[in-house]
Amino acid sequence: MIKDIKTALLLFLVLAVMTGLIYSMAMTGIGQVVFPHQANGSLIRQHGRVVGSSLIGQHFREARYFWSRPSATSPVPYNGSGSSASSLGPNNPVLAQHVAARIKALQAADPAEKSPVPVDLVTSSASGLDPDISVAAALYQISRIAQAGGINTVTLRHLVQQNTTQPLLGFIGEPVVNVVKLNLALHERYVTAQVATSSLTTR
């Protein structure tokens, strides 16, 4: 009996060290060497400063920037420590009310845009943290952004194209646009335009 208990304890300790320490340290080391960007959170840096992660969306509401899909996290949208969905099923009238209100808000922000509203602009993802929107959702917003930000639609379409991630291996998934990266590129355009305007006015 005592012998069996000692054997069980020894086996437990060996497995604990192997799976809890050695394996974890090995995987962490391999991740840091082979996939350092992903292992450290896929952080997005701009001018040497961390401004977000390509894995977690951000809440944008200024008319001159692209808007992300709705987030159901609490207490604020895109709360990384509170990933959650709305838990509203397709037959739930509350979901229908939310979608109708979001459609109305999008149409009010850009009355001239008459095309159908892409579904990902009015429904939240299962995690509430989805950083991506469909290409259609990005293109739908171009008219509003061009008017609010003073950037021509050709430039905006080019920015969307530059920040579109194609399906894995060309056929797994759909093309998507990372809203954080797209808005950073757009912000750089605004900054460049502002600097150019300031230079002209000071001459």
Q: Lowest-confidence range among 46-60, 95-109, 120-134, 147-161?
A: 46-60
Range of the domain at 107: 41-201
Q: In this structure, are residues 87 and 96 in contact, taking their beta carbons and an 8 Å threshold? A: no
From CA 135, how far away is CA 60, in angstroms rounded?
17
- For 178-191, what is the mean pLDDT? 93
- Residue 194: the pLDDT is 75
Q: Please check whether residue 25 lies inside any domain of the structure.
A: no
Q: Please check whether residue 20 lies inside any domain of the structure.
A: no
Q: Please check whether residue 29 lies inside any domain of the structure.
A: no
Q: Please check whether residue 14 lies inside any domain of the structure.
A: no
State phi, psi for 138 to the nearest 5 degrees. -70, -45
67-80 per-position pLDDT tens digit: 999 998 888 899 88
Counting the structural domains of the chain, the total is: 1
From CA 112, how far away is CA 104, in angstroms rounded?
13
- Residue 202: the pLDDT is 57
11-44 per-position pLDDT tens digit: 999 889 899 888 988 888 888 877 777 777 788 8
- Residue 203: the pLDDT is 56
- Residue 35: the pLDDT is 74
DSSP code at position 168 = B
Q: Please check whether residue 180 lies inside any domain of the structure.
A: yes
Q: Residue 166's CB: how many other CB atoms inside 10 A? A: 11
Look at the chain and count its residues: 203
> Mean pLDDT score of the chain, rounded to an integer?
88
- For 147-166, what is the mean pLDDT? 94
- Residue 41: the pLDDT is 76
Q: Please check whether residue 36 lies inside any domain of the structure.
A: no
pLDDT over threshold 80, residue 196: no
Q: Lowest-confidence range among 18-22, 32-36, 51-55, 93-97?
A: 32-36
| 201 band by pLDDT with thresholds 50, 70 and 90 | low
Burial (CB count within 10 angstroms: exposed 0-12, middle 13-18, buried 19+), residue 81? exposed
Q: Please check whether residue 9 lies inside any domain of the structure.
A: no
Contacts of 69 (CB under 8 A, 6+ apart): 57, 120, 121, 123, 124, 125, 130, 133, 137
Contacts of 162 (CB under 8 A, 6+ apart): 185
Q: In this structure, are residues 53 and 43 in contact, taking their beta carbons and an 8 Å threshold? A: yes
Q: Please check whether residue 121 lies inside any domain of the structure.
A: yes
- pTM score: 0.80
